[in-house]
Amino acid sequence: MASIGADGLTTAMASTPVLAGVAGKDIARLSEMGSVRRFRPGTYICHQGDPSPEVYFLLQGRIEISSFSPTGARILHASVDTPQFLGELGVLGNMPRGADLLALEDADVWATSGEDFVDFITSQPEAARQLLAALARQIQEHQAFADDLLYLDLKGRVAKRLLQMGTPSLEDLPEAGTAVPALTHADLASLCGGSRENVTRIVADFQRRGLVKRDGKRYILKKPPQLAKIAGL
C-alpha cells in the first residue's frame, strides 16, 4: 500500500460531505492537527465501550464497524473502504465508543484529539451544518432499517442493502456494474437482520437470475432496477 502525503490527506478530507465548502487551507490546518497511523489486518483501532478521546479519518484501506448486543450477538454495521471520518459520535456526545473498529486489510488512519476536532468544526459554520446533516441522515437510516424489519421481507431487505452499499442515496440507483464493498454472507445477514443460511439462499437466487455477480469478495450489481423492485423502491 503506497503512502499518501499531506496533500493527499487534505484532498481526501476535502472529498467528504462534512468538509464540503470548507476552504482548502482550513482543511490543511485540520489535517496538521493529527497524524496518520498504519493498522495491520486484524488490528483493532478502538473497542466498543472504550473512552472516545479521538476522531479518526480512514485515508485508505478497509475497516469493519461492528458491535455486540446485550445477548452477545455480533452486529455488523458497515464495512468501509472510502475516505471518511469515523468515531465522531462518541466525541460529540462525550460518550464511550458505540462500536469496534477493526482493520480488515492494511489501513492508514488519521487521528486527532476530539477537542481539536470539535474546536475546528465549531469554527467552520459550513462544516458544522454538514456534520449536523450527516447525523440527521444516520438517524433517518436507523429508523428506515427498523421500518424494514417490520414491513419488508428478508429478500427485500437483502436487495435493498446491496443497493445501499452501491450508492450514497437510494434516490439515485447505482449504475449497472457497480461493485459493492467486500463482505461475507454472514456480514450481509447481520446487515439485513436475517440468518446466514437464508441470506445465502437469497443471494444464490439473485445470482441465478443475473441480478448480481460474485467477483472475488465483492458483488457486482448487474440489474439495479430489478433489485429495486424486489426492495419495494
6, pLDDT greater than 80? no
Q: Catalogue all structural domains in the chain, each as residue range(s) with its CATH number.
A: 6-142 (2.60.120.10), 153-230 (1.10.10.10)
Note the pLDDT tens digit of each residue in 131-173. 888 777 777 777 777 777 668 789 999 898 888 888 777 777 8
The Cα-based distances of 199 to 116, 153, 155, 184, 185 in angstroms read 43, 11, 8, 10, 7
Higher pLDDT, 216 or 168: 216
pLDDT-derived band at 113 (thresholds 50, 70, 90) equals very high
Measured between alpha carbons, how far is 44 from 229 in angstroms, rounded to an integer? 38
- Whole-model pTM: value is 0.69
